[in-house]
Structure 1
């Protein structure tokens, strides 16, 4: 058994693997104020109903963009599964060349997404990860990570709109009846959902144009992340949704470091 944990700014996703198969998956708030003891109680509560004991685990791998949460959760995991906790970062073997100006500054989640995309869909590929920020990560035809783009996430965009206006409020992320909203709620939904789909397709189109000039050929476009299901149906360029991509990438990186 193996645990994969991806700690994002807003949510943490945990995957329980039996071999290469995900047998359970949980999505939690990242809880920046949680202590090591709180994480231990939480993890035991999640794992208890599965019937697996600490002795069943080979270890765990973790990616994080929130260092305080990573530190507390790592200590908790070490109590549960021993000292076999891999934190993805500089010095960890990923099997992927990182060809950017400063390889140490790229987020671990972006690296493991790219590793998984290359493994599952081949190279070249572009991964769009919908989270607090939306990231676009590019794997070239040689299978190397060459960078990408970062934009504010959909929820961040909604929060900015609401906080900067006096009369507008948060809305449910539901596709409106038409692009032309018949009321304020539908108008906000239209602007957010269709506008964000336009952002995604606009950035993807420019990335694909650049890759085409290098003779990249067919490029896999893969989406993951908590709100991918809201945006991808409105996108004209994303071909695949893979909700477990990051967890799969953590499993692959773990196996390369055994």
Structure 2
């Protein structure tokens, strides 16, 4: 079995694969204060609860954008699973060709998501990741990365509005029934949530124009992808497993090359 771990700013997503088959998955809150034993015992208990054998894990593959948790996480995998994790951009190259100038590397979560999307859907495509931050990445029909952009996630925007104003409330993250609301809560939800969706639609339209190719598919992942897809027609596919699938593909290619 292969254990993949997507370490994001809010959650760590653990996924278990047997070959190409997904056997299960779960999330832990990303917390830099957790010890290796806390992480290891939580992961071990999941395996025990669902009848999976920890000793059957052949390798662990990690993509992380949160360096402070990595020492405890890697130690947990070594201590409780007997495996030294393979980390994207340290031990593994995502293998995503770049079609843009410059030598700056794309974040591992984004490059892995692009690899997973290409494997499942082919190019050209746009990958939207609705996480703590929102990212847009474009890949052309030849599988080359063509650029992207980063925006504040809608939750960050709503929290900032609450923290930086004296009288506006902290409200639930959900779209209102209409733009012209009657209460302060509806006003904030319309401006932040519907305005956020509108901004994403605009960015996708410009990205499609700059790619200059027909048949560009938009694939969305991340916690808010389903909500955005319900209120917009810009998204063709919602896929919550893009990063874990990308990690599986990168690991498979490594094994084949060896």
Q: 226, 241, 246: which is aligned to 1:244?
A: 241
Question: Relative to structure 1, is the Cα distance of residues 102 and 60 closer, same or farther in structure 2, using a 3 angstrom cutoff?
Answer: farther
Measure the CA separation in 2 of the matches of 1:65 and 1:243.
Answer: 18
Partner of 2:81: 81
Q: CA deviation at 1:130?
A: 0.6
1:195-222 Cα offsets, whole Å, 9 max, x none, are 110111111111001112xxx2211100
Partner of 1:137: 137
Measure the CA separation in 2 of the matches of 1:255 and 1:84.
Answer: 17
Q: CA deviation at 1:28?
A: 2.1
User: Which range is displaced more, 117-126 or 34-43?
Assistant: 34-43
Measure the CA separation in 2 of the matches of 1:129 and 1:189.
Answer: 21
Q: CA deviation at 1:100?
A: 4.0
Say if 2:47 is the partner of 1:36.
no
Partner of 2:232: 235
Partner of 1:16: 16
1:56-93 Cα offsets, whole Å, 9 max, x none, are 11111110000111221111112233234211115624
Q: CA deviation at 1:38?
A: 1.5
Please give the residue correspondences for 1:1-258 in structure 2 after superposition, counting only pairs within 5 Å: 1-89=1-89, 92-103=92-103, 105-212=105-212, 216-258=213-255
Question: SS of 2:254's equivalent?
Answer: coil
User: Which range is displaced more, 143-152 or 227-236?
Assistant: 227-236
1:145-176 Cα offsets, whole Å, 9 max, x none, are 22210000111111111111111122122221
- Structure 2: where are the runs of 5+ without partners? none
Measure the CA separation in 1 of the matches of 2:71 and 2:174.
Answer: 37
Question: SS of 1:60's equivalent?
Answer: strand
User: Which range is displaced more, 24-33 or 221-230?
Assistant: 24-33
Question: Relative to structure 1, is the Cα distance of residues 104 and 38 closer, same or farther in structure 2, using a 3 angstrom cutoff?
Answer: farther
- Structure 1: where are the runs of 5+ without partners? none
1:10-60 Cα offsets, whole Å, 9 max, x none, are 111111222212222212210121121211122112222121222211111
Measure the CA separation in 1 of the matches of 2:88 and 2:203.
Answer: 27
Q: Root-mean-square deviation (CA), in Å?
A: 1.6
Measure the CA separation in 1 of the matches of 2:76 and 2:223.
Answer: 25
Measure the CA separation in 1 of the matches of 2:91 and 2:100.
Answer: 16
Aligned partners of 1:93 and 1:257 also within 8 Å: no
Q: How many residues align?
A: 255
What is the TM-score with the length of structure 2 in the denominator? 0.93
Aligned partners of 2:130 and 2:222 also within 8 Å: yes
User: Which range is displaced more, 170-179 or 146-155?
Assistant: 170-179
Question: SS of 1:186's equivalent?
Answer: helix
Question: Relative to structure 1, is the Cα distance of residues 245 and 35 closer, same or farther in structure 2, using a 3 angstrom cutoff?
Answer: same
User: Which range is displaced more, 49-58 or 245-254?
Assistant: 49-58
Measure the CA separation in 2 of the matches of 1:98 and 1:151.
Answer: 21
What is the TM-score with the length of structure 1 in the denominator? 0.93
Measure the CA separation in 2 of the matches of 1:128 and 1:29.
Answer: 22
Measure the CA separation in 1 of the matches of 2:134 and 2:226.
Answer: 14
